[in-house]
């Protein structure tokens, strides 16, 4: 089986909206597990016909419950179908390109199971979010160069971009690309669940897909005794810690997509 599914970007977001990373992962597994143009029904050793959902269970690593939950959605979307003889069809790449009127492709690595593939599918939208942050940071940096020289307008921004491109200049990013635990959760499920986001980030780190760098802000220089007194008197938030003679506050971690 090909270990990377390459699917239409508009299709990806349509799948994500209708069933999250699970639906994306199921579609990718079905697309890559087939041999030839479709899954063909066949006779088992006991002379029973293996077809439809049972055929998918036999030919993929998906459970029957997962197949019954997500495949009907794919059928309703026109991406899959079952023939009258039980063969299972998955719409080809060229037809999905026409269906979604889009040629942009996103790669999704097929894992050893649905869970791994689901996390790989999540990386597409995570990468898109972080890339958007980088663009906004770059834009903010470029616009700051215009201060006192021109209005903060789209036209001025485009002129600056042309100047930078012509001269080969590059403006370094001055801010960090970040995402909180709630942000991880919100991207995945649309819910700001801190615990879920923490788990999601931890899994992606363990899979070697991202790295996370802790960041801290110095609040005030005090002795450790003063810090203890302030904490006991509840004069500072309980989240404030003490390090190297400073009261510090932990900020949202810096996130990096690993190659």
Number of H helices, E strands in the chain: 9, 10
DSSP per residue over 126-158, as a string?
HHHHHHHHHHHHHHHHHHHTTTTTS-S-HHHHH
For 4-112, CATH number out of 2.60.40, 1.10.10, 1.10.3470, 3.40.50 equals 1.10.10
Confidence band, pLDDT 50/70/90 cuts, at residue 183? confident
**Which SS3 state, helix, strand or coil, does residue 51 take?**
coil
The structural domains of the chain, with segments of one domain joined by +, span 4-112, 181-257
pTM over 0.85: no
pLDDT, tens digit (0-9, with 9 covering 90-100), for 196-247: 889 889 999 998 989 998 889 999 999 999 999 999 998 999 889 999 999 9
Q: How far apart are CA 63 and CA 69, in angstroms?
A: 10
Cα four-point dihedral sign 219, 221, 225, 230: negative
Only one residue has tokens 């599914």, namely: 5
Name the 3-class secondary structure at 69: helix
Contact 85, 74 (CB under 8 A): no
Q: Report pLDDT for 157.
A: 57
Nearest to 179 by CA among 247, 235, 127: 127
């Amino acid at each position: 089986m090909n270990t990377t599914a390459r699917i239409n970007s508009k299709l990806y977001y349509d799948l994500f909206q209708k069933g999250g990373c699970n639906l994306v992962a199921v579609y990718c597994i079905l697309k890559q597990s087939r041999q030839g143009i479709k899954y063909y029904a066949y006779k088992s050793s006991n002379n029973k016909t293996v077809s439809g959902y049972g055929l998918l269970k036999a030919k993929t690593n998906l459970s029957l419950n997962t197949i019954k939950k997500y495949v009907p959605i794919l059928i309703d979307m026109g991406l899959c179908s079952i023939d009258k003889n039980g063969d299972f069809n998955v719409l080809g790449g060229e037809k999905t390109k026409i269906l979604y009127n889009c040629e942009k492709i996103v790669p999704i690595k097929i894992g050893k199971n649905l869970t791994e593939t689901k996390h790989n599918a999540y990386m597409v939208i995570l990468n898109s979010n972080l890339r958007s942050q980088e663009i906004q940071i770059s834009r903010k940096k470029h616009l700051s160069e215009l201060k006192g020289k021109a209005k903060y307008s789209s036209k001025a921004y485009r002129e600056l971009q042309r100047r930078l491109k012509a001269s080969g200049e590059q403006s370094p990013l001055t801010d960090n690309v970040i995402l909180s635990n709630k942000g991880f959760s919100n991207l995945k499920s649309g819910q700001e669940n801190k615990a879920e986001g923490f788990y999601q980030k931890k899994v992606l780190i363990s899979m070697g897909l991202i790295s996370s760098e802790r960041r801290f802000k110095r609040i005030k220089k005090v002795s450790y005794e003063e810090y203890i007194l302030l904490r006991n008197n509840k004069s500072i938030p309980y989240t404030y810690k003490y390090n190297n003679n400073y009261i510090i506050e932990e900020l949202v971690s810096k996130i990096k997509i690993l190659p």
